[in-house]
Amino acid sequence: LKCSEQVASCQAPLGRMPNPTALFSTSMGNFEAEIYLDRVPLTASNFIDLAKTGFYEGIHFHRVIPDFMNQFGCPYAKDPKSSRAGTGGPPDGTFKNLVTGKTETRSNGGNIQDECISKDTNDVGTLSMANCGTPNTGGSQFFINVAHNDFLDWFSPGESKHPVFGKITSGLDVAQAISRVRTRDDNPLEPIKMLSITISGA
Active site residues: 63, 68, 71, 131, 143, 152, 162
Spatial distance between the Cα atoms of 24 and 163, rounded to a whole number of angstroms: 20
Q: 40 near 118, Cβ under 8 Å?
A: yes
- Partner residues linked to 31 by β-bridges: 24
- Pick from 173, 194, 161: nearest CA to 62: 194
Cα(199)–Cα(149) distance, integer angstroms: 26
Alpha-carbon gap, residue 6 to 171, rounded angstroms: 36
**What's the CA gap between 153 and 80, in Å, rounded?**
29
CA distances from 13 to 47, 137, 195 (A): 20, 28, 33
* CA dist., res. 51 & res. 39, Å (int): 19
Q: Please say whether the beta carbons of 73 and 59 come within 8 A.
A: yes
Q: Would you say 12 and 178 are in contact if contact means Cβ atoms under 8 Å apart?
A: no
